[in-house]
Amino acid sequence: MPDVRVSLSEVLEEGSVVMELARAFQDRGHELYVVGGIVRDALLGGAGDVDLTTDAPPEVTKAIVEPRAEAVWLQGIRFGTVGCRIGDWNMEITTFRSERYEPDSRHPEVNFEASIESDLARRDFTVNAMAIRLPDRAAVDLFDGRGDLERRILRTPIDPHESFTDDPLRMLRAFRFASQLEFQIAPEVLETITELREKLLTVSAERIRDELSRLLVGAAPAAALGLADSTGITDLFLPELGALKLEQDPVQKHKDVFKHTLAVLQRTEPHLEVRLAALLHDIAKPKTRKIGPEGVSFHHHEVEGAKMARARLRALRYPNDVVDKVGDLIFLHHRFHTYSLGWTDSAVRRYVRDAGPLLGELNALVRADCTTRNPNRARRLAARMDELEARIAELAEREEFERFRQPDLDGTQIMAYLGVPPSRVIGEAREFLIERRLDEGPLSEDAAYAALDAWARERGIEPVGERSPPKPRKEKEAE
């Protein structure tokens, strides 16, 4: 069910969808509360998703909402949750409950509770354990969640040992909220996470992935991950992060790769693929580090790093498109530094061709990767990046960048000219023409045929010389 973020004032407004629903529950002798993130976010000055809780059993909730709703979702009914859309609002209504995850189970063992007090006690953090009773709008804050909001600290409503045993993922969720809200984590909570971190091994990779993703696109991912690393919990699902704390050679020193990684992460915009690439872009440095007479080197760390990143993201069950984008960004992120002597047209074309649709994300990652404290070097790197982007813009005015992956002659024309049926030779000819285009820019038809003719004769192929019109390109569908 898609989220709809609304303000709490809209929810509590007389005559609102939720207030009318609350009266329907009241008429059936049941309570209804708005609860969780929307209450927290309202006190922080923002909007949230509409989550409601009730003492009504799920079957009764279903009976109340069905006559009023345009759509009802029952996938979570066995866990006490009924989803619905009434008017323009989507919402979830959950029966008072407590949850406990057994080892190796992706689904909680749910117990329905008799009171709002029991329900709130089993929520993850006090700032998420506040509610407002409807329709009288009475605040319920049994664990000083509002005070913790003001103090900007994360605590559990009950003893953290009990809370994290009920659902070990809450340990990782603490760092997610620390990143999103820029809150501190209470010392007793951190101590318990350090003590119980191994329990995270019972949590599915998919649930860990989702919390990690939310952490990464938060406001303070570097501080949150650094704190998580200090408890040892990241070693359980992202061991490559802690491995970046390389022991420094007493003579040939280099920058702290762990601190550098967190700095790069924080310097990027909150886009998941870019932040995953920032987090993993140097993970192969421990594996590729060599110390020689000329200093420390990490040759081809981007190549090995792309492989390692893909493996780690697959283990965390990220979708294939995310795995591919992040792997490509890491593979390409060092390319910029290989053009230290300047950007020729050919170099720019190849950079743009290889980046493809990831060009903007790649440039953003490259800029973030400059964390040097040397102001002169920082200015030089920024100037080189400015030069590259200017060269891209300049060439884009003259050439069709989107066609860099296409040869000046299509497959039909190549086959006709060479007199060769579809085969590996045609593919090799296409690649030759693409490389020629990258080196020299777009070729005229005569120049392209001349280049193809010379290429074929060098390989002992006698072209038949037939020229045919290019295959018509499909027009993009109107949006």
Q: Residue 68 sits in a domain of what CATH number?
A: 3.30.460.10
Residue 177 located in a structural domain? no
The tens digit of pLDDT for each residue in 373-410 reads 778 888 888 888 888 888 888 777 666 655 555 778 88
* 445 three-state secondary structure: helix
Q: What is the mean pLDDT of residues 110-120?
A: 86
One-letter identity of residue 21: L
The band of 372, judged by pLDDT with boundaries at 50, 70 and 90, is confident
pTM, rounded to two decimals: 0.81
The band of 417, judged by pLDDT with boundaries at 50, 70 and 90, is confident
> End of a domain among 119, 150, 181?
150
| pLDDT at residue 476 tops 60 | no
Residue 79 located in a structural domain? yes
Q: What is the mean pLDDT of residues 351-355?
A: 86
Most confidently modeled range among 51-65, 239-253, 339-353, 369-383 = 51-65
Domains contained in the chain, number: 3
Q: CA 431 to CA 405: how far, in whole Å?
A: 9
Mark whether 124 and 18 lie in a shared domain.
Answer: yes
Mark whether 296 and 394 lie in a shared domain.
Answer: yes
| pLDDT at residue 179 tops 80 | yes
Query: Do the beta carbons of residue 381 and residue 273 sit within 8 Å?
Result: no
Mark whether 351 and 387 lie in a shared domain.
Answer: yes
Residue 222 located in a structural domain? no
Residue 320 located in a structural domain? yes
Mark whether 64 and 39 lie in a shared domain.
Answer: yes
Mark whether 131 and 74 lie in a shared domain.
Answer: yes
Residue 338 located in a structural domain? yes
Among 264, 196, 187, 256, CA closest to 225 = 264
Q: What is the mean pLDDT of residues 320-343?
A: 87
Mark whether 349 and 294 lie in a shared domain.
Answer: yes
Mark whether 19 and 121 lie in a shared domain.
Answer: yes
> End of a domain among 369, 385, 403?
403
Q: What is the mean pLDDT of residues 239-254?
A: 68
Q: What is the mean pLDDT of residues 271-284?
A: 96
| pLDDT at residue 475 tops 60 | no
| pLDDT at residue 111 tops 80 | no
Domain hosting 425: range is 406-458
Backbone angles phi, psi at 295, to 5 degrees: 120, -160
Mark whether 396 and 418 lie in a shared domain.
Answer: no
The tens digit of pLDDT for each residue in 6-51 reads 889 999 999 999 999 999 999 999 999 999 899 999 999 888 889 9
Residue 323 located in a structural domain? yes
Mark whether 363 and 421 lie in a shared domain.
Answer: no
**Half-sphere exposure of 273 toward its Cβ, with a 13 Å CA cutoff?**
20
Mark whether 346 and 411 lie in a shared domain.
Answer: no
Among 438, 363, 432, CA closest to 404 = 438
Residue 213 located in a structural domain? no
pLDDT reported for residue 250? 42
> End of a domain among 150, 181, 208?
150
Mark whether 419 and 395 lie in a shared domain.
Answer: no
Higher local confidence (pLDDT), 251 or 270: 270
pLDDT, mean over the chain: 88
Query: Do the beta carbons of residue 111 and residue 77 sit within 8 Å?
Result: no
Mark whether 357 and 342 lie in a shared domain.
Answer: yes
Residue 181 located in a structural domain? no
